[in-house]
Structure 1
Amino acid sequence: MKNVKILFVLLILLVFTQTSHAQFLKKLKNRAEEAAKEAVIRKSEDKVNRETERAMDTILDGNKGSKKKNKKKKSSKNDESDSDEIYKQDESDNNDTKENGFGVYSNFTFVPGNKLLFYDDFAADAIGDFPANWETGGSGEVVTTNTSESKWLSMVRRSGYMPTIENKLPENYTIEFDLANNGYGSGKPNSKLFFAFLTKKAYSMGAGGSVADIEILLSNNGFKVSNVENFGGEVEVKIGSRIDREMTDYLNNTVHISIAVNKKRLRMWVNEEKMVDSPNLLQANIGKYFIIQAMDVLPEKGHFVGISNFKIAESTEDLRSLLIKNGKFSTTGIYFDTAASTVKKESYGILLDIANMLRDNDDINLQIIGHTDNQGAEDYNQTLSEKRAAAVKELLVEEFGIREDRLQFMGKGETEALDDNTTEKGRANNRRVEFIKI
């Protein structure tokens, strides 16, 4: 009898254990199903957000609809040689960022203007002088650093810096420059920079009439894009948006700034990341003049803030229209390492635009022609131009999946100058890549 009771108790325990185990498995299954549903919802939301951003870009820019997805493989190679350098970017829509060198800029949609209005790398300015092609109500000087081959305009204290341009800026234009900062960190005072768009010529934001600006904070915590705003009597709708995008890696470092103005719309990228996209910021006549205003940049405290490779270009017809109308177009927006044929990653945008045009027009084949300025020996420039044209072809084939038989390349060195090689702007105009329909 005792044994029967024991067996009965064991049977009850076994049934209870199996029931509990089944319930436990059922709970696990339910949780797994819920997690899967949440993952699907998140994926759908991400897709909607991406599509919405692309749709806004298309609506505000008037660009054509969706583009095809691009394959990315390896970085471009080649290096060697002498004379030039520039800087660039684009406007399209690829979603997959891949950490593979050139492909890290696969979300970069900035396209530079195609008519150069101003260029300065300070090459012709003496160290210690204020640059000849700039204006200020404060002070500053051209310097070199031990981490760069470039010359820099060192911006100090509370000063505004304006490039000297004969006419007011047009409705559509782009601005690009390298921005270096150093001497910030624990125990150091903060500095601010303002990229300011004015209605009238002035060397400070307060005297520039109605103004729009993007504020950059350099602090112990990092390089921060703080806010974007407009103000003044001509502003119909006041805009003041907090960005608060803080990037510790960019403090005491060099970044590339890209700005696109399309009538009222203003966008800004820091390296490959879009930080600002405000469709109605530049109201009335705001944006006819541009200054960089430094605030509390103190050399005696160890601060250094400098700009180099500064470029303003008007955005006129897009490359598709130019190719259809003229059978060719050229761009100063494909950038190479100095004295080399390695394409800089900031060139991603314009190359993507070219690739999308080729994908949308299967009947178009292109000849790619490299051009240089006249700095250096003529035979050297000829070789360099050929290598650069070859590097562009290689990227279009390997990074963007364009068939190789649709592309040819050649170099013309310094033989077909478009502008005066005795000025910095002229040399920058001559350093270009040309595309001709064949």
Structure 2
Amino acid sequence: MIFLRVGIFLAMATTAGAQVLDFPSNASLQQTDTRALDSYVMPMGIWDRGAMPTEVVEGQLTQQAWRIDAAGLTTLQLLRPLREQLRNAGYQIIFDCQTEACGGFDFRFAVDTLPPPEMQINIGDFRFLTARRDAENGPDYISLFVSRTAQAGFVQVTQVTAPGAGAPETAPLAMADAKVLQPQSGDQDDLAARLETVGHAVLDDLTFDTGSSELAAGDFASLRALADYLQADPGRAVALVGHTDAQGALETNIALSKRRAGSVLERLVADYGVNRRQLAAEGMGYLAPIASNLTEQGRETNRRVEAIITSTND
């Protein structure tokens, strides 16, 4: 995948040059806030028991909010290419978390963010990353706050550059030279990575109609990826958790969501050869939305089944 080089520059450790953080061509810069010398409270760990580990870092502070116009992207699909760019640029990832594993609501509101509508954060679906690199004038820090709505993805980049390292720049290329970032459902490595790092993953290519518990016919890449993951280690087990939109009564939706999860379980056993003992089916109804129930697109996103790791051999 080719990315449009329109991001902020990361100061090189030993030269006056720069390494650009690339965004896809369907990304647009919504807001930039730059201060020549300031301090920033950089998150360094999860919110736990009323507190969050932080480090006060000083230098040139730059914050940017980016919008990526592609409905259906997962937060991991948004984050992964940016995280790899940081690693390739010599940054060490020192903190990486997702939603509830970060500390959920409390973590989100403990982090300084640019205001909406330029930067929008769904408190039910976000990822955060902090990275550090030693530069000639001292350590550089960068954080990525990634979230999504039903219509688009959002990324806040916060960089604190050691004093004297030089100002960030921008270097746009022609739009024709780049491709857009689009959702990639069911990729085995992607699904396995989500299960291993955050413990759960949306099976985001499954299809259910409103009020129906039957999984649509067809072969689903996410189910093949999940089957391969489970069959690679018989000690692994997952709970399949169904979710609905907010139409109808809660009790009805909980029952419907559990039947949907059960339908997925039976498909995994019958068509993909998964051992039934590695699977369980549960339902949450509409209690854990990841999009707005005020739009049809949001309701469709909320009608989903997630896989949650419940045990391994480790």
- TM-score, normalised relative to structure 2: 0.41
* Structure number, greater radius of gyration: 1
- TM-score, normalised relative to structure 1: 0.30
Where relative contact order (Cα < 8 A, 6+ residues apart) is larger, the structure is 1
